[in-house]
Amino acid sequence: MVGIEHFTRSFLRAGASALLLAALSSCQTDDFKPSAGEGGASAAVTPANDTGLYNQTLGSGSVKVAYLGVRRADQPSRQADSEYRDGAALAVNTLGSDVVKLTMLETTEKPEAIEAATRTLARQQVSFIVTTARGAEFEAIQRGLGGLQVPMVAFQTNEAVLPENVYPFVSSPTDSLIESASFAMAEGATHAVILASSPAEKAQADRIATQIKAFGGKVEPVVELSGGTLPAKALNSWSKADMVVLMPGIKSPGDVLKKADAAKPPRPGRKIVASAVLTAQDLNEPKLTGSIVCRYDQNVQARIGSRYMASYGMPASAQAGYGFDAMAMAIGLAGRFREAAFTPEQLMSPNGFSGSLGVFRLEGDRKVRRNCDIFKVAKGSYVFFQKAPPTL
């Protein structure tokens, strides 16, 4: 089993007038062993068929952990859940079969079925649960645990409302915009305006604004577009901003920028921060050339692609990467701390963890933060610009 190595690295955080340089120690699982005979080391989990629910145990370690899957009616959700599960199984088979004993249990969406499955895990005295549960399903899980305090990681984003002992694990477009804005500040931007398409999106834009302020920047009140045009009041500060953040719901963002710039010239050297949902037309729009885009999915193939392909016969997806990383984190902590591995202090260690999707950290407000590779829009596509830093 490849252990967890501690090392000291530096990280860059943008401020209003200077860059903050600090050192932190990161907790990284070595290059996801082994380099030879990768396929032979993996006992692949057989996907559940249309009628059966999977129930399998992997590994023989002393620390008991669980994967609780909830079978969905719609095929896209079932496919994603299958890939999360396969990624988790791959982590056990290649990293920690002698560290953890993983029970993989699937249930239907019925609350009573979820509760019964959780009772099975409670009887086994599992120390940690990775789950595809969502929403009110956590109430059934808590009933099944019968008062046991078992920390969980859920494949939900930071926007989800989760119980106190459940940590989200999936990075959202809003998270990517926060990281892109941080990079724009590292390139010199200090004053942002954020454009949103709806009241619901404005709520997420407010979270980005809060983070930019925490990084030391200034942010104008979030602008909710009306008919693709900036309100007159918002134009008053347009020339002051040297960063424009485009929320994913903005349609034809190039046209929005052209209209605003024609009404009020932009500040020289302005940075545009965008998401990975731009259309082909957007990518060819001159106004968006040079836009900064954070992408989380670029490390998966390089880190676990060959092993995943050997085990499951398909390319590793971002969902497989999330599943792998959640279980790799559990294995790394169990290898160091055994039964005391999953305390809040260990799970939310500022050291963070390194996985197939990059370096990530569970933070004190029960949010997940993950670094990313930076791309810039050029020549009608996303062009790689800078590799994700080794620390947050």
Q: So what's the pLDDT on residue 51?
A: 57
How many CB atoms are closer than 10 A to CB 187?
13
- Residue 87 tokens read as 């990624």
Q: Are 1 and 335 in contact (CB under 8 A)?
A: yes
Q: So what's the pLDDT on residue 3?
A: 31
Residue 180, helix vs strand vs coil: helix
Q: So what's the pLDDT on residue 329?
A: 97
Q: Which residues contact 276 (CB under 8 A, 6 or more apart)?
A: 173, 176, 293, 294, 295, 375, 382
Residue corresponding to tokens 């002051």: 240
pLDDT tens string, the chain, 392 residues long: the values are: 333 222 222 222 333 222 222 222 334 444 444 333 333 333 444 444 445 899 999 999 999 999 999 999 999 999 999 999 999 999 999 999 999 999 999 999 999 999 999 999 999 999 999 999 999 999 999 999 999 999 999 999 999 999 999 999 999 999 999 999 999 999 999 999 999 999 989 999 999 999 999 999 999 999 999 777 888 888 989 999 999 999 999 999 999 999 999 999 999 999 999 999 999 999 999 999 999 999 988 788 889 999 999 999 999 999 999 999 999 999 999 999 987 899 999 999 998 999 999 899 999 888 999 999 999 999 899 999 998 888 87
Q: So what's the pLDDT on residue 160?
A: 93
Residue 104, helix vs strand vs coil: strand
CA atoms of 113 and 142, how far apart (whole Å): 13
Residue 202, helix vs strand vs coil: helix
Q: So what's the pLDDT on residue 24?
A: 26
- Residue 176 tokens read as 């990517």
Q: Which residues contact 371 (CB under 8 A, 6 or more apart)?
A: 179, 358, 359, 360, 388, 389, 391, 392
Angle at 37 between CA 31 and CA 38, to 5 degrees: 50
CA atoms of 9 and 374, how far apart (whole Å): 19
| Helix intervals (H) in the chain | 75-91, 111-123, 137-145, 173-186, 199-214, 232-235, 253-263, 280-283, 300, 306-312, 318-337, 344-347
Residue 278, helix vs strand vs coil: coil
Q: So what's the pLDDT on residue 84?
A: 97
- Residue 77 tokens read as 């959700």
